[in-house]
Amino acid sequence: MNQTVHLVDDDADVRDALSGLLQAAGLRVQAYARAEDFLASCVAGQPGCLLLDVAMPGMTGPELQAALAASGIDLPVVFLTGHGDIPTAVRVTRAGAVDFLEKPVAGKVLVARVKNALELDAKRRLEGADRRAIRARYAQLSEREREVMALVVTGLSSKEIARRLGISHRTVEVHRTNLMHKMGAARLPDLIACAACCAASPGDFPPAEPDPR
């Protein structure tokens, strides 16, 4: 994965020093003098993290963080500032920042924190890929299989599901076997985990497509 550390700081000397430090650690760096410049070039889905100053002319670091969140851009943010205070640290952390460091900071510490942010980004992307795969498998279920799945994950037995849906116990067993296979679930806990990826809560699934059969 070609991750990039996006560095936003209005101080040219700081940008040069931090860029050199991170590049020497084997990291790819793209530097920006203004938050607006980064925001204009940022594309949702790009892998990496954001190393961000707090106080800058024009858009501030926290304002950029809020703008990215509003745009659905989920890059891990590490704040590095010479104007740190507790209220600001609390505010940006609650808004999702993964770290808040004050200048000056030891080079080894900074590199370690940035690498942690990159690892978090990679983990989020892997989890996102897993969720998309599960939802794609769910989309392949028939309408009846979705109905059975919604009841299975609530803990109902096949006989109870059969009575609820007005079908035979044997038919429920067939649908249950098929949907478990399609969802890649070996056990009920696996299916419940799949359900959690497909909806806010078990049984609350995306609308079923019309059954083509």
pLDDT recorded at residue 112: 97
Give the Å distances, CA to CA, from 193 to 67, 90, 134, 165: 32, 33, 10, 23
pLDDT recorded at residue 208: 38
pLDDT recorded at residue 1: 60
- Mark residue 113 as left, alpha or beta (left: phi above 0; alpha: psi -120 to 50; beta: remaining): alpha
Give the Å distances, CA to CA, from 26 to 124, 168, 186, 196: 22, 62, 41, 38
Q: Interior CA angle at 150 toward 149 and 154, to 5°?
A: 105
pLDDT recorded at residue 10: 94
Q: Which of 143, 176, 138, 184 is nearest to 158 (CA)?
A: 176
pLDDT recorded at residue 115: 96
pLDDT recorded at residue 45: 82
Indicate where the chain has its CATH 3.40.50.2300 domain(s): 4-129
DSSP letter at 206 equals P
Indicate where the chain has its CATH 1.10.10.10 domain(s): 140-198
Q: What pLDDT tens digit does each residue of the chain (213 aa) get? A: 689 999 999 999 999 999 999 999 999 999 999 999 999 998 888 899 999 999 999 999 999 999 999 988 889 999 998 877 889 999 999 999 999 999 889 999 999 999 999 999 999 888 888 888 898 899 999 999 999 999 999 989 999 999 999 999 999 999 999 999 999 999 999 999 898 887 633 444 444 333 333
pLDDT recorded at residue 32: 97
Would you say 205 and 138 are in contact if contact means Cβ atoms under 8 Å apart?
A: yes
pLDDT recorded at residue 211: 37
User: What's the first-to-final CA gap in the chain, in angstroms?
Assistant: 41
Class at the top of the CATH hierarchy for domain 140-198 = mainly alpha
Class at the top of the CATH hierarchy for domain 4-129 = alpha beta
Residue position matching structure tokens 């000397």: 13
What is the rounded radius of gyration, in angstroms, for the C-alpha atoms of the chain? 24
pTM over 0.75: no
